[in-house]
Amino acid sequence: MESKEKADQMTGFSDTGPAAVGLYPVGKDRGCYKGGSVFAGGDNVNKAGTQKIETDRLILRRFRLEDAKDMYENWASDPEVTRFLTWPPHASVDVTKNLLADWIPRYEDGGYFNWVMEYKETGKAIGNISAVKLNESTHAADIGYCMSRAYWGQGLMPEALIAVMDYLFDVVGLNRVAACHDVNNPKSGRVMEKAGMKQEGILRAAGKNNLGICDEVWHAMIRSDRKK
Ligand SMILES: CC(C)(COP(=O)(O)OP(=O)(O)OC[C@H]1O[C@@H](n2cnc3c(N)ncnc32)[C@H](O)[C@@H]1OP(=O)(O)O)[C@@H](O)C(=O)NCCC(=O)NCCS
């Protein structure tokens, strides 16, 4: 792929391109969670795509259509989960199925990073972590995530975020991994801190989610942080 424009056209993640079925909305804002963007690659970047990653309690893997039921029941239909996100809760499992049907073909592109979190103990799909924005010139990714309420408070998302960051630095070869949260959603900030990201600053009125316009708190880890 030669340009970001071309990548955006392929994935619908451009400002003007077709939205991803309008469910995990995509577009201009840097919103905290959009379900995946695509990376066109470049020097020193390995377009390894969404490969399986195993942690103590989780398997991070590609979505399958069969995940629709778990995804809908466990997190995508829950307004408490989507409160600080940019997309509305799914109204039916068909909405979730359509979204997965849109996402799954994107795995053919090695610049697409979008994992379902499978809880090893039960084999259930419990959440999602993905690169929501990628910058090929700076070799940087912004990450978004969300998870079933039943699993909150066990350190599972920090576990997933650490594993995804390791993958993006060590396998893909990125130089920067960042994430943001609504200033009123500090528990997401805790995930970033626990995963070793540093807080960089607050962009006032820079984001928009289901609660309206919000101040965004940005955290990041850069490659040189990891040597310390
Ligand atoms: C944010 C989220 C991913 C946290 O994941 P997690 O695996 O529960 O993270 P942790 O277990 O490390 O908990 C992080 C913080 O959440 C808070 N928390 C923990 N359990 C909680 C619960 N049952 N209810 C509410 N908040 C809780 C605590 O403040 C905790 O920080 P602490 O460990 O210093 O006490 C999860 O709450 C979620 O999916 N929220 C909805 C989607 C969302 O907001 N995504 C981020 C958008 S930027």
> What tens digit of pLDDT does each residue of 85-139 get?
999 999 999 999 999 999 999 999 999 999 999 999 999 999 999 999 999 899 9
Q: Is 58 helix (H, G, I), strand (E, B) or coil?
A: strand
Q: How many domains does the chain have?
A: 1
pLDDT > 80? residue 200: yes
Indicate the range of 19-28, 158-167, 195-204 predicted with least confidence: 19-28
* pLDDT given at position 173: 96
How far away, in angstroms, is 186 Cα from ligand 1 center? 8
Nearest CA to ligand 1 atom 18: 153
Average pLDDT taken over every residue of the chain: 86
Q: Could you identify the residue written with the tokens 């070799």?
A: 139
219 lines ligand 1 (CB under 6 A): no
If one residue of 117, 119, 152 were mutated to test the ligand 1 pocket, choosing by the most ligand atoms within 8 A of its CB, it would be 152
Q: Assess if residue 140 is contained within a domain.
A: yes
Q: Assess if residue 116 is contained within a domain.
A: yes
Cα–Cα–Cα angle for 143, 148, 149, nearest 5°? Answer: 115
* pLDDT given at position 31: 35
Nearest to residue 40, comparing CAs of 135, 159, 113? 135
- CATH number for position 37: 3.40.630.30
Nearest CA to ligand 1 atom 19: 153
How far away, in angstroms, is 129 Cα from ligand 1 center? 14
CA dist., res. 227 & res. 197, Å (int): 13
How far away, in angstroms, is 40 Cα from ligand 1 center? 32
pLDDT > 60? residue 169: yes
Q: Assess if residue 14 is contained within a domain.
A: yes
CA dist., res. 116 & res. 161, Å (int): 12
Q: Assess if residue 222 is contained within a domain.
A: no
In terms of residue numbers, what domain contains 135?
Answer: 4-177
How far away, in angstroms, is 190 Cα from ligand 1 center? 7
26: pLDDT confidence band, cut at 50, 70 and 90? very low
Please report the atom of ligand 1 found closest to the CA of residue 32: 48
Quick check: 138 and 175 in contact, CB under 8 A? yes
pLDDT > 60? residue 41: no
Quick check: 82 and 35 in contact, CB under 8 A? no
Q: Assess if residue 46 is contained within a domain.
A: yes
Per-residue burial over 152-166, b if 16 or more Cβ lie within 10 Å, else e, is: eeeebbbbbbbbbbe
- Residue partners of 116: CB distance under 8 A and separation at least 6: 60, 61, 62, 63, 64, 67, 71, 125, 127, 128
Question: Helix, strand, coil: what percent of the chain each, to 5?
Answer: 30, 30, 40
* pLDDT given at position 44: 74
8: pLDDT confidence band, cut at 50, 70 and 90? very low
pLDDT > 70? residue 191: yes
Q: Assess if residue 220 is contained within a domain.
A: no
* pLDDT given at position 1: 35
CA dist., res. 140 & res. 203, Å (int): 18
17: pLDDT confidence band, cut at 50, 70 and 90? very low
Q: Assess if residue 198 is contained within a domain.
A: no
* pLDDT given at position 6: 34
Q: Assess if residue 215 is contained within a domain.
A: no
156 lines ligand 1 (CB under 6 A): yes
